[in-house]
Structure 1
């Protein structure tokens, strides 16, 4: 176990799978105590907890529906109460709903906003109330805020673009407390949502400087950097980790 984050507490919103799970494991390896927020995947969340404990870390799972403000706020409040503090928030929960503009339902549009934008704001607001000076808020955005080269992704790209403006404003609001607020903008990452082995994946690789999917652990390394003391001067940023997708 590393000790860069020793004694700190991290809440991972959407920590049961993919990038969120990798971030939870990495922050725990750096010494943080980690709360794994999940919407419905209790079994998957508990599996991440067991992986962290097996490696010598401390973690627990707690239900937190990113589309439900009361559920999300309650989970963050409970985490702060459990440990007496909250230092790091990682907003990794997200949905990817695709469809042509003329057919995209308002229900899917509203769910995209509820999870990808409103949930990030709700979690950040709740976490900031508990954070001491020097806290960290880290969002998982998307390179699609910079480039949307295929059809059907208008609402998704819009939701991730909204996070860019949100972190700029929130970084100003929380800067006096030395709380940093940043986006990480991944490109194609090998997860259940976007597996590396598919015809769609091959098409994406043709648009990239590096002809492969990234890994969740590579994104988690950037999360760990932003959570660390070394990143104390980084705030309001949208940091691409996309293999040159947007280059």
Structure 2
């Protein structure tokens, strides 16, 4: 069993019973986003979570990970559901997303000073199946993992931007506003954000316990 909260964890939302973040961040559920049956349920129309961005400007070593389960896959090439996004403007952003246009699938993506870099390899999930997904930066390389398998990696140039908009889960931005084509349809749980590159090689996806990790963190 993996300890979810350690000195490198800046957010951990089990999302199994409520919106409690065991690192103390305050999250807001929008529209009908709610925790049900042990996961955050999102309708793909306008549901999402948000939190102020300050704790998540963590430099050039980071890991964004969660378990996700699609309730449907988009039928349009334009529709690109986002698992999360950090955003300053269209030229400086970072997201875990899915584009099912025959060339992307699930992926991690950065845009730094107008230059986009994607870690992708045509991985298309099965509806109704849980997957662990992790987007990682270590130095000048980004990595994207699904179920502990390295799907893709890519060289990235430039420092991770300083983001200014709220971090969103289940949604994405465009032109300084939420993009109606980017809402995630399905379930998300065990969201963990870390200020370190936890994975650069294939790994066994973590199994987080339900015990009070907040208490454990206080005595570390």
Band the TM-score falls in, shorter-chain normalisation: 0.3 to 0.5
Choose between structure 1 and 2 for higher RCO, CA contacts under 8 A separated by at least 6 residues. 2
- More helix, by proportion: 1
Please say which structure displays the higher CA radius of gyration: 1
